[in-house]
Amino acid sequence: MASLDRYEGVPRFSLHAQERHLIGVDRRLQIADEDAISTTRTDCVTVWNLQSARIGHQIVPSEGWHFSGPPVSDHRNIYVMERHQDSVQTSLRVAAFSLTDGQPVWRTAVTKSRAPSSTVVWSNDHLTLNENLLIVQTHAGVVAGLDTEKGRTRWLLEYPRLQVPRTSANPLPHRTIFRRGNACFVHHDIAVFASADCQHVFAVDANHGNLLWATPPDSLADVIHFLGVRDGHLIASGDRLYWIELVSGRVIRAFPEGGGAPPNESLPVPRGFGRGLIAGNLIYYPTRDRIFFLDAVTGSLAADPLELRLWGLTGGNLMWHNGVMVMATANRIAAFPATAKPGSFAGHSCMP
């Protein structure tokens, strides 16, 4: 059996929709022997035409480079992070390709860092489009803003990295590692980051890169998801739901009450389990066996929770579309059509 010490991260296969195109990164690993000493990594960006249901074109990285996160796109280009790793260092850059034919448009180097000890790194470096600004979250000590037209670096900000050795007694470097699957959150001119290698949640001016605020170390170590903004508060989730004042970073309230404690403190009940959503002024907050419904402004419970055990389900990631709540769990996709009463649902359908 291949040693798990040779692997770092989880391969994710996020998709991006742009008008009539569906874009995703296909990342594959071929292991030549049981010790995983010899491996072959092949990546490509695939563009599907949604009208014809056929592959339009595919893009491969330069030799020695791999795509290191999900793509984003505007009406002209596809943007994706690229990573090069050798025995000494890891290099990260952003690449732009034509949406029409996949030809390279520009590439911009972002940062270099010490190479991890793992043989295979499944990285998830994220990009966020904000009009003609491309915001880069590397989970490698740097965030940046690039111009989408030429790839010029508008700003670059370094943040203090969390350095915790991975040992048999400490298999996970920190609970913030669960943030690797998420991009930054942008609201107007404020970009908020929760990086996997940082103890802080912090916000910057999206246009100039100036630091606006940062939470105290470990105070929101469990925060993974940013759900949206209501009444001037950024609603974030992890083990708890948090209402964070967007202009100052101050935590106004939490559900359940508490939070801001060191990560070794006992876990809250109920505890978040998956990504929630905001529909109107209602927060849908999944736990392992229930979905709670809270007023997005006051934080009060708005309806009785949905008991997932009735359908043999656990919590998962939620999305809302045309009056239907869709939930993706570890092994199922469930859809709940909403009734007229907030927080109540008329049956469900499931896959598989």
Q: What is the pLDDT of residue 163?
A: 66
pLDDT at 112 over 50: yes
Other CB atoms closer than 10 Å to residue 346's CB: what's the count? 10
CATH number of 270-352: 2.40.10.480
Over 50: is that where the pLDDT of 231 sits?
yes
Render pLDDT for 20-55 as a digit per residue (tens, 0 to 9).
888 888 766 544 445 544 455 678 898 988 888 888
- Whether 135 and 191 have beta carbons less than 8 Å apart is answered as yes
The pLDDT value recorded for residue 283 is 95
* Residue tagged 């913030």 (tokens): 176
Percent of the chain with pLDDT over 90: 48
Judged on CB neighbours under 10 Å (0-12, 13-18, 19+), 108 is middle
The C-alpha atoms of residue 292 and residue 302 are separated, in whole angstroms, by 9
Q: What percent of the chain is predicted at pLDDT more than 70? A: 79
d(CA 161, CA 223): 17
Q: Is the peptide bond before 263 cis (omega within 30 degrees of 0)?
A: no
Fill in the DSSP letter of residue 266: P
Cis bond before residue 352 (omega within 30° of 0): yes
